[in-house]
Structure 1
Amino acid sequence: MFTGLSAFPLTPMNEQGVDEGAFTRLVEQLVAAKVDSIGALGSTGSYAYLSRIERSRVTQLAVEAAGNVPVMVSIGSLRTRDVLLLAEDAQKAGVKALLLPPVSYQKLSAEDVFSLYETVTANISVPLCVYDNPGTTHFEFTDELHGRIARLPNVHSIKIPGVPEAPDQARARVDRLRALIPEHVTIGVSGDAFAATGLNAGCEVWYSVIGGLFPKTALAITRAALSGNAEEAARLSESLKPLWALFTQFGGSLRVVATAAELRGFTHSPSLPLPLRAISGSGRQQIAAAIDELELS
């Protein structure tokens, strides 16, 4: 399941709870578009803002709505004890894979992180994806640490945070990591603006934010790149530059995607956990105009 497009949907919510109907509809849309896998409760899914009970319920909803499309869920938490409990809940719900970021409040060392993955991989029975996302965890993986972790049992993919913009540098970056990890472990690119470059450079999977809301748009880029049509993948990504610029302007993809979901009627407003808020005013108008202009679907 660690190839192609892995679409990461929003978890619509307000202070009363998760909007289960809206979440289910988002997952059903991904199934209809024929994404390769679904990444529930990632950063776009606001896992860190939900209780264990809420996360278990969202996992159950995702698995039920996904049907034959494999579901991966994040089990990130501050304590290893809680990570193991979340892994147990997710496996009981029927997920096909787990996504693990090294979440922390105190700064983690490389040995802390290796110990986390060593403990978790010894206590699970489904594949695991290593979630390398320094923008949210504030932990910087080295390629050498990735190499050590990738040799642990049940590790099957690494989600890296983008690649250099220049194609030759992107290829070199992917090749450096590939040389240190087992052959069966795939490399997945995140950071949507870098997806086409990463796929063209040898990444096997795109862990996609926009794929969770506009799967057809993301699938077109993915299919072009993985079929060897690098120029078309790059062209399609270049055409989305106004969207990538909005991600930069508003400090990341989450608020933009939540606002887009509200504008398109996929969710009610508010759709994010306080103190997070969707974008209002002129920014909201910018996002609405971009959705229409780019014909995102």
Structure 2
Amino acid sequence: MFHGLSAFPLTPTTEQRIDTAAYTALVTRLAATGVDSIGALGSTGSYAYLTREQRAHAAQIAVEAAGGVPVIVGIGALRTSHVLQLAEDAQKAGASALLLAPMTYQPLTEDEVFGLYEDVTRELSVPLCVYDNPATTHVHFTDELHGRIAQLPNVASIKIPSVPDDPSASELRVDALRALIPDTVTIGISGDWMAARGLTAGCDVWYSVIGGTFPQTALALTRAAQAGHALKATELSEGLEPLWALFRQHGSLRVMSAAASHLGLTEATNLPRPLRALDETARRRVAAALDALQLTF
């Protein structure tokens, strides 16, 4: 479950509800393609904008539509008590694992971050992935903090946001973190344009944004890296540079929102307010990039 490709789909929404039909179809599509796991309610799944009831419903949809493919459900929230409620809901829905980012309004100390994971992990019956995503949470993990958290019960993976550009430096960065964590804890890369570099540097899993909409494309890159074909994986990633450039300019969530609607997988309006779809000019650029890359699956 914490190896290979973990694909993170959108959670298509209207202002009133989750678009159950579209979400079911997205998850079913991933399961049929053979992804190693499905990440429900990650950042691409807009978890932070949904109510507890909506998140419980999304978790249930994902598990049922996944058809036995492991589903990792995001449980991040501002208060520990709310995280525990979300964890209970996800486990009741049949989640195979949970994903926790330390959301906050007030800056958290390292002891507070550790305390969050300590409080949550002691209550779990399924494994947990630690979600290190400073771009959205503004919480910065040190390797030493990762090392402390990785010793807690039920911690099974760490999702890091990036690796250095230089391949040798990437390997050193992954090795340095691996030296501080148990052998039972895997390391995953989440920055999509860094995925080939992270996987060839020794990361075990790609927690993938594009995998949620273009699973075949993401699987080809993942399998190349897993087979030791670093050059092939790099070439596949470089071929996607037009998409990566859009990610860097507009954010991966809005680009994937536009991509999904362009392909007819969701309605044009599929993000919860205050998030808004890209403007028409940017949407045309996304469509042009997808067409040029022949990205449909």
TM-score (norm 1): 0.99
For residues 114-193 of structure 1, what are the structure 2 equivalents within 5 Å? 114-193=114-193
Establish whether residue 267 from structure 1 lines up as the match of residue 248 from structure 2. Answer: no
> Residue 164 of structure 2 aligns to a residue in which SS?
coil
The corresponding residue for 1:109 is: 109
**In structure 1, distance between residues paired with 2:124 and 2:111:** 20
**In structure 2, distance between residues paired with 1:113 and 1:134:** 13
**In structure 2, distance between residues paired with 1:295 and 1:170:** 30
**In structure 2, distance between residues paired with 1:133 and 1:119:** 20
> Residue 18 of structure 1 aligns to a residue in which SS?
coil
The corresponding residue for 2:232 is: 232
The corresponding residue for 1:295 is: 294
Question: Could you report, residue by residue, the CA deviation over 1:240-276 in whole angstroms, capped at 9, with x for unpaired residues?
Answer: 00100001111x1000000000111000021001111
**In structure 2, distance between residues paired with 1:281 and 1:53:** 33
**In structure 2, distance between residues paired with 1:241 and 1:161:** 18
> Residue 125 of structure 1 aligns to a residue in which SS?
coil
The corresponding residue for 1:98 is: 98
Give the unaligned 5+ runs of structure 2.
none
Q: CA deviation at 1:280?
A: 2.1
For residues 204-223 of structure 1, what are the structure 2 equivalents within 5 Å? 204-223=204-223
Q: CA deviation at 1:286?
A: 0.7
> Residue 13 of structure 1 aligns to a residue in which SS?
coil
Question: Could you report, residue by residue, the CA deviation over 1:58-114 in whole angstroms, capped at 9, with x for unpaired residues?
Answer: 000000000110000011000000101111111111100000000001110000000
Q: CA deviation at 1:161?
A: 0.3
For residues 237-256 of structure 1, what are the structure 2 equivalents within 5 Å? 237-250=237-250, 252-256=251-255
**In structure 1, distance between residues paired with 2:166 and 2:291:** 29
Please tell me the residue identity of whatever aligns with 1:76.
Answer: G
**In structure 2, distance between residues paired with 1:236 and 1:242:** 12
Give the unaligned 5+ runs of structure 1.
none
**In structure 2, distance between residues paired with 1:6 and 1:92:** 21
Question: Could you report, residue by residue, the CA deviation over 1:216-258 in whole angstroms, capped at 9, with x for unpaired residues?
Answer: 00000000001100010000000000100001111x1000000
Establish whether residue 76 from structure 1 lines up as the match of residue 76 from structure 2. Answer: yes
**In structure 1, distance between residues paired with 2:97 and 2:277:** 30
**In structure 2, distance between residues paired with 1:99 and 1:150:** 14
Question: Could you report, residue by residue, the CA deviation over 1:165-206 in whole angstroms, capped at 9, with x for unpaired residues?
Answer: 111111111011001000110000001000000000000000
**In structure 1, distance between residues paired with 2:71 and 2:9:** 11
**In structure 2, distance between residues paired with 1:280 and 1:80:** 37
Q: CA deviation at 1:295?
A: 1.5
Question: Could you report, residue by residue, the CA deviation over 1:104-128 in whole angstroms, capped at 9, with x for unpaired residues?
Answer: 0111000000000001110001000
Superposition RMSD in Å: 0.6
Which stretches of structure 1, 4 residues or longer, exceed 3 Å deviation after superposition? none
